[in-house]
């Protein structure tokens, strides 16, 4: 399984799972924003200097810490 932070900019993937090391409140917040298993995600942009990634989930754009994105399992779509 690949991690979300390893996707190239502009690549899409299907969310598979959240690592058990992520806080339950964080996972719930992500799920409330549409990051559900089976959902298509597009990694729009990486911001290495800020350690963040910009994602598109449906019509919603989200910014995550790269560290958290590294705890989200995806598969190529």
* Residue 34 contacts residue 63 (beta carbons within 8 Å): no
| Tokens matching residue 30 | 């992500």
Which tens digit of pLDDT belongs to each residue from 34-69? 899 999 999 999 999 999 999 999 999 999 999 999
Both tokens of 55, joined, read: 């994602």
Q: Where are the alpha helices (DSSP H) in 1-77?
A: 24-32, 66-69
What CATH number did the domain enclosing 24 receive?
2.30.30.90
**pTM of the model as a whole:** 0.91
The secondary element (H helix, E strand) that includes residue 20 is none
Please give the tally of structural domains in the chain: 1
Q: How confident is residue 1, by pLDDT bands cut at 50, 70 and 90?
A: confident
Under the banding of pLDDT at 50, 70 and 90, the label for residue 76 is: confident
3-state secondary structure of 5: helix
29: domain range? Answer: 2-76
The CA distance from 11 to 25, in Å, is 27
């Amino acid at each position: 399984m690949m991690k979300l932070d390893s996707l190239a900019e502009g690549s899409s993937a299907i969310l598979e799972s959240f690592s058990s090391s992520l806080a339950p409140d964080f996972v719930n917040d992500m799920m409330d924003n549409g990051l559900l298993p089976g959902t298509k995600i597009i990694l729009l942009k990486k911001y290495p200097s800020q350690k963040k990634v910009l994602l598109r989930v449906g019509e919603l754009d989200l910014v995550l810490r790269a560290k958290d994105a590294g705890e989200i399992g995806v598969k190529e779509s």
